[in-house]
């Protein structure tokens, strides 16, 4: 099983969509009602040299680090089966289904093709374990801060034996080097403790607060998806991201189909999205007119037969949203 990013593929039971041009810190107190395995930890992102990204000036320095050459040479994040564990947190509905609303961005946020979303982008970061630059995918998430993204846990933290990624930045609707909305530096990470401690695939989810760019918050610029939790594992879903096995991860792709349950509690869809699609949003009720939907999964792994998998979104994911969504 490998960690992934997204790409577009025909599905037997799914409609394929090609996208446009274009793939640690201190633990905060948790409510007593939150089981230990569902607790999360927040962290301040850092540059590769160790300096915290704690000011607009540092965020600007990070944007300068990510030159077109570095972006083009960044490696699509992937993992071998031996480096990932089976899901331990067999999440299931823990209450009634719920959703937060999406939000449209500025009026001139036009998508050149119908299946490309300005609220999905490419992530670039450095892995401190080897000093190499990597890529993932992410989506903007509407919240009170208007500054938040959702991605995979392994795109912000190396999991058991690892640490937090550095030089982390997000490029909405990246396409072959183009940055139509600029680059947004990470301001704060949050992921599940069970991902940090044991690479629990059942909790391979992260939320990231970004710095405003020139005074503009990412959701206000590109729009932001809503969040859904406690829904059935069988859902019509649109999966989006930057898989390296489609256009080399330089173009945003999408795949549509109906998810099914995995025995370990996760959900899967046969998109065959490869490395680099990791962290890309799995969207309920995707609206092709504005490129927005309700995030009900995040790309995690690729299994035999081209089946992509995501953690199941339950009350613990909503609790992560509540903990991070107002951070500015």
Maximum distance among all Cα pairs of the chain, rounded to whole angstroms? 49
Structural contact between residues 282 and 5, judged by C-beta atoms closer than 8 angstroms: no
Inter-residue contact 28 to 41 (CB < 8 Å): yes
pLDDT for res 86:
54
Reference 194, options 182, 185, 186, 206; nearest CA is 206
pLDDT tens by residue, the chain, 328 residues = 444 433 333 333 333 333 332 222 222 223 333 344 689 999 999 999 899 999 988 998 898 999 999 999 999 886 433 344 555 666 667 678 777 776 777 655 555 455 789 999 999 999 999 999 999 999 999 999 999 999 999 999 999 878 999 999 999 999 999 999 999 999 999 999 999 999 999 999 999 999 999 999 999 999 999 999 999 999 999 999 999 999 999 999 999 999 999 998 999 999 999 999 999 999 999 998 899 999 999 999 999 899 999 999 999 999 999 999 999 9
Please indicate, yes or no, whether the overall pTM of this predicted structure exceeds 0.85: no
141: β partners = 148, 225
Q: What's the pLDDT at 56?
A: 87
Two tokens, residue 246: 């489609």
Could you tell me where the DSSP H helices lie in 15-104?
Answer: 56-65, 68-73
Assign 68 to helix, strand or coil.
helix
Contact 52, 115 (CB under 8 A): no
Domains of the chain are: 2-23+38-86+113-324 (2.40.10.10)
């Amino acid at each position: 099983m490998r960690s992934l990013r997204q790409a577009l593929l025909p599905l037997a039971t799914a409609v394929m969509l090609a996208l446009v041009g274009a793939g640690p810190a201190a633990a905060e107190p948790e409510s007593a009602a939150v089981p230990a395995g569902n607790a999360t930890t927040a962290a301040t992102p850092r540059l590769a040299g160790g300096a915290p990204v704690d000011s607009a000036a540092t965020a600007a320095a990070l944007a300068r680090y990510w030159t077109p050459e570095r972006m083009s040479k960044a490696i699509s994040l992937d993992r071998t089966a031996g480096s990932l564990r089976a899901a331990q947190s067999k999440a299931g509905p823990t209450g009634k289904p719920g959703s937060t609303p999406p939000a449209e961005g500025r009026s001139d946020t036009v998508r050149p093709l119908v299946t490309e979303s300005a609220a999905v982008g490419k992530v670039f970061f450095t892995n401190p374990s080897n000093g190499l630059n990597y890529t993932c995918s992410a989506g903007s998430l509407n919240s009170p801060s208007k500054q938040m993204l959702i991605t995979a846990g392994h795109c912000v933290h190396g999991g058991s034996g690892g640490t937090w990624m550095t030089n982390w930045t997000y490029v909405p609707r990246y396409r072959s080097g183009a940055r139509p909305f600029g680059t947004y530096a990470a301001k704060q990470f949050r992921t599940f403790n069970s991902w940090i401690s044991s690479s629990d695939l059942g909790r391979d989810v992260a939320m990231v607060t970004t710095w405003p760019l020139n005074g503009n918050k990412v959701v206000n610029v590109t729009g932001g998806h809503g969040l859904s939790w406690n829904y059935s594992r069988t859902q019509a879903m649109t999966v989006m991201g930057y898989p390296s096995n489609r256009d080399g991860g330089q173009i945003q792709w999408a795949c549509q189909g109906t998810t099914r349950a995995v025995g370990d509690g996760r959900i899967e869809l046969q998109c065959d999205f490869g490395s680099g699609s990791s962290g890309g949003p799995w969207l309920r009720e995707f609206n092709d007119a504005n490129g927005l939907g309700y995030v009900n999964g995040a790309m995690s792994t690729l299994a035999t037969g081209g089946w992509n998998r995501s953690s199941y979104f339950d009350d613990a994911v909503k609790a992560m949203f509540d903990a991070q969504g107002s951070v500015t």
